[in-house]
């Protein structure tokens, strides 16, 4: 399985479309920095807040690029059928795809983090500890959000074998997940019992606040929320996919 994972990650990192989307996102980040530096004196607060807004805006583009590169290409190119035909079990294949998604997600956000760090140093944005914590925790939370929603959308993909439907689900969750949460809060029972705290995006947001207020131990809460949703999604995807007939 190790060879399968490494080969797939190499395939994804060689895709021009992946790098084009990531490059566009970096340019948008640079644009936000320039916009915040109109006066020529960029404060750490302005830089952190502008980049926090930028990464929230670009999540949709980065998330879809990662999802399509990791999951959707397997069905459109029929490579998954070939792997199963060569004896790779569906369970191992699902786990390998998830590990690929984790690796590509953190490579993408690692590059983004490095870019904005260098950009901030060049622009002279001197962030204090609180501003740095806010910015980097926002990036980490967004990376976990993209990973979680991609894994949830994997259920639709492996159940329906329809790339378009699954991609639309991923795009909807990335674009309107917070709006959906606001709609749920309008339901009295959910609002009264604070059930919304267990919804993925809100759970991550609460864990991020805990991380900023209490420090390092809250990172385990973030990881727990992501691990929980990913484990449930992988199990459901496997149960739906294990007996599914594939067209060769």
Given a contact cutoff of 8 angstroms between Cβ atoms, the answer to whether 212 and 133 are in contact is yes
Q: At 124, phi and psi to the nearest 5?
A: 80, 25
Q: Tell me 86's DSSP state.
A: T
Alpha carbon distance 180, 245 (integer Å): 34
Q: Check residue 103 and give its pLDDT.
A: 93
pTM: 0.84
- Cα radius of gyration rounded to whole Å, the chain: 19
Written as tens digits, the pLDDT of the chain (248 aa) is: 777 788 888 888 888 888 999 999 899 888 888 877 765 677 777 888 888 888 878 888 898 988 888 887 666 666 666 766 676 777 888 888 899 999 999 999 999 999 998 988 888 878 888 888 888 888 888 899 899 888 988 888 888 878 888 888 888 888 876 655 555 555 665 555 545 555 667 677 777 777 777 766 778 878 888 888 889 889 998 888 877 666 54
pLDDT of amino acid 248 = 45
């Amino acid at each position: 399985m190790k060879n399968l994972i490494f080969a797939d990650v190499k395939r994804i990192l060689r895709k021009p479309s992946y790098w084009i989307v990531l490059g566009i996102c970096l340019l948008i980040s640079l644009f936000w920095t320039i916009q915040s530096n109109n006066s020529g004196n960029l404060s750490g607060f302005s830089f952190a807040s502008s980049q926090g807004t930028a990464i929230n805006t670009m999540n949709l583009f980065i998330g879809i690029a990662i999802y399509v590169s990791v999951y959707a290409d397997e069905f459109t190119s029929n490579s998954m059928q070939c792997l199963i035909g060569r004896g790779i079990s569906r369970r191992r294949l699902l786990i390998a795809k998830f590990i690929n998604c984790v690796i590509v997600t953190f490579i993408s956000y690692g590059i983004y983090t490095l870019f904005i760090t260098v950009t901030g140093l060049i622009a002279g944005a001197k962030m204090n500890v609180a501003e740095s914590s806010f910015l980097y925790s926002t990036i980490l939370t967004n990376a976990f959000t993209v990973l979680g929603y991609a894994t949830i959308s994997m259920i639709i993909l492996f159940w329906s074998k329809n790339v378009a439907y699954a991609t639309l689900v991923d795009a909807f969750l990335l674009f309107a997940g917070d709006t959906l949460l606001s709609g749920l809060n309008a339901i009295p029972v959910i609002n009264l019992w604070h059930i919304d705290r267990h919804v993925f995006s809100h759970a991550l947001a609460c864990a991020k606040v805990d991380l900023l207020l209490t420090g390092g131990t809250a990172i385990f809460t973030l990881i727990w929320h992501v691990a929980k949703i990913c484990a449930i999604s992988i199990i459901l995807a496997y149960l739906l996919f294990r007996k599914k007939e594939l067209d060769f």
